[in-house]
Amino acid sequence: MKPIYIEGTAKTPMVKYDNENGTIEIKGRSIPENSIEFYKPLVDWLDDYAGSPKELTKVDVHLEYFNTSSSKCILDVFKKLEAIHKNKHEVLINWFYEEDDEDMLEAGEDYESIIRVPFRMIEIVD
């Protein structure tokens, strides 16, 4: 399985999946024309990764904004991580949000209430 690196654009986040280190990073804006198409390789990669995950999988999510269709796809990513966690592997999701961005904090808390994986809310102070 090869690592994934997708350069961020004005409409899509930078994505870095590194199976060697067990790290996943999603950063930027997520308003792609077709969210399912954009996130499908990431979900598929997690299916492969789940076969032999690292002892700890660390996920850093630092989104400025995401649309409704992206939120469903992000949930699909988190569900794959939840399955890894249920199989006795440690998974930690770091949810970054700007200090004045209540909506992004609430979005992280909503995911945390749905997904049974440890979340850490991290406030970014300018």
Per-residue pLDDT tens over the stretch 101-114 = 999 999 999 999 99
Per-residue pLDDT tens over the stretch 39-76 = 999 999 999 999 999 999 999 999 999 999 999 999 99
Alpha helices in the chain (DSSP H): 35-49, 68-86, 102-114
- pLDDT band for 15, please (50, 70, 90 cuts): very high
Structure tokens at 43: 């979900």
pTM, to two decimals: 0.94
Nearest CA to 52 among 6, 20, 16? 20
Domains of the chain: 4-124 (3.30.750.24)
Distance of CA 20 to the CA centre of its chain: 17
> How far is 41 from 95, CA to CA, in rounded Å?
21
> How far is 26 from 97, CA to CA, in rounded Å?
13
